[in-house]
Amino acid sequence: MKVNHILPVIICALSFNLVAAERPQKPNVLFLMSDDLNTALSGFGHQQCKTPNLDRLAQRGVKFESMHCQYPLCGPSRSSIMSGLYPYTNNCLGNGSKIRREIPDVVTMSQAFMNQGYYAGRVSKIYHMNIPQEIIEGTAHSDDSSSWTEAFNITGPEQDAPGKKTNWSPKNETSQAFVGVVSTAGDLEHADGMAADKAIELLDKVKDNPFFLAVGFVRPHVPLVAPEKYFDLYDQEKMQIPYVPENDLDDVPQIIRDYKNNKEYGVTSESHKGLLEAYYASVSYMDAQVGRVLDALEEKGLAESTIVIFTSDHGYLLGHHDKYQKQHLFEEATRVPFIISVPWMTSEHDKGTKQLTELIDLFPTLTDLAGITAPDSLQGTSLRPLLEDTESPAWTKDAVFTISRAGGESLRTKDWRFTQWGFGKSGMELYDLSKDPGEFTNQANNPEYASVVERMKKLLLAKRDDAGYPNFVAKKANKAGRKNKKQKKKK
């Protein structure tokens, strides 16, 4: 959508007081999570996407600029965040998994706060939900009721919203893979506006007692629906398509080469720009709803007693490496935006850290900051040292671990990304990030990098054992054994 007028200026009605507050005895927690959001935030250096409200949250807190998910798919990632466990340990390896079914006695992040007398509320998507179907239906079939005092689902029109509807994926005309809707309806008539409304209502309801409030925003998950004014922030013709070298995927293993790449979607140069505009418009719409919740926190006098976290469940490819969506193990899929604001630990200037961190680190961080007893089983590490000093020598994590479909396992260090597929049987990737930050040249089969491959392979195998791989193998074997017994009984 070409812009023929001056871009509207988004003005925040209220801004946070940047004077550090005194730590409350029982600090509140406001956990805000987006869906399918990569690091396309202006505060993270993105030149196109406009996110003024998240930028002001970053100015109050700390940006984690190398935060990585544990599985680039909604269900497994969210279960990992809420349990503080790697997917190999909690056995949630697909969108059909349910944390309580896999680990009946698990104490989830919000549950740990409930056990200390906190109100724990959920608004919209925190555990997995099928989007758009469950927003249209107002359901949440994969939710964990034991995690909440109260839970509220949102019902919205999604791709059926009034307005101009376009499918930017010519080869998938019957799917919702890349549908965008320039909606004539207002902010409050879509899912994220409704979620913000409910969150504001709950803040007023629980403001006099300690609370853990989790608010899920579904944009920019497809369908890419946003009111027209957010599309007006962007000029479709000026969208910058990600750079992809010719024959970029020729050197990656066959098992992942053709997965969710443009052969499947047929996105043209023109439609690619439309897709990017719709994605960024959805992000800006979500950002505005976050801003409404942050304003309410201030208006109700809760800003100085509330820890605020914003993140996404995983990253998202938008034509990077000629690929789209998730379940890949490139940087754009594993890396997520992450901001945490702790009022009594905040300076007057926005801060960022490039230290390697993982989403499983959130659970122990919040229990540490709030003085809450954490389960002994947690596999993450409290981020407190980096909140106190973004270059703290006390932070010793030097690798992050992400798994995906088809036995994909990836270890990311400061200088390297090493990935193997089929649990090491279907090929490898090695990227020298000091020379190749875009991960375009796979050095796994280059003799000059043989020693690096062996070293990274050993580190990955050690990390996956720490992440619960033996537990995963044992459960898999037990499941196969039970299946064989049933088959023998039938015979």
**Domain positions in the chain:** 28-395, 401-490
The Cα 378–Cα 209 span in angstroms is 27
Whole-Å CA distances, 395 to 16, 356, 363, 392, 431? 29, 9, 17, 6, 24
Please name the helix (run of DSSP H) or strand (run of DSSP E) that holds residue 151, with its range, or none. Answer: strand 150-152
The CATH number given to 401-490 is 3.30.1120
Residue 465 has pLDDT above 50, yes or no: yes
The Cα 256–Cα 423 span in angstroms is 13
Q: Where are the alpha helices (DSSP H) in 190-268?
A: 191-206, 228-231, 254-257, 262-265
Topology classification of domain 28-395: Alkaline Phosphatase, subunit A (3.40.720)
| Per-residue confidence (pLDDT) for residue 5, from 0 to 100 | 43
- 37, 336 contact by CB (below 8 A): yes
- 224, 279 contact by CB (below 8 A): yes
| Per-residue confidence (pLDDT) for residue 1, from 0 to 100 | 46
Least confident range from 15-19, 96-100, 130-134, 381-385: namely: 15-19
| Per-residue confidence (pLDDT) for residue 264, from 0 to 100 | 87
pTM of the full structure: 0.93
Residue 411 has pLDDT above 80, yes or no: yes
pLDDT band at 17 (very low <50, low <70, confident <90, very high): very low
| Per-residue confidence (pLDDT) for residue 476, from 0 to 100 | 83
- 359, 336 contact by CB (below 8 A): yes
pLDDT (mean) for 262-278:
93
| Per-residue confidence (pLDDT) for residue 47, from 0 to 100 | 85
The Cα 32–Cα 218 span in angstroms is 11
The Cα 433–Cα 50 span in angstroms is 28
Least confident range from 59-73, 176-190, 477-491: namely: 477-491
pLDDT (mean) for 24-42:
96
Indicate left, alpha or beta for 423 from its phi (over 0: left) and psi (-120 to 50: alpha). left
pLDDT tens, position by position, 361-374: 999 999 999 999 99
Residue 173 has pLDDT above 80, yes or no: no
Residue 433 has pLDDT above 90, yes or no: yes
| Per-residue confidence (pLDDT) for residue 479, from 0 to 100 | 74
Residue 449 has pLDDT above 90, yes or no: yes
pLDDT band at 430 (very low <50, low <70, confident <90, very high): very high
For residue 112, the SS3 value is helix
Residue 165: partners with Cβ closer than 8 Å, 6 or more residues away: 159, 179, 180, 181
| Per-residue confidence (pLDDT) for residue 111, from 0 to 100 | 98
The mean of the pLDDT values for the chain is 93
Residue 470 has pLDDT above 70, yes or no: yes
| DSSP code, position 223 | S
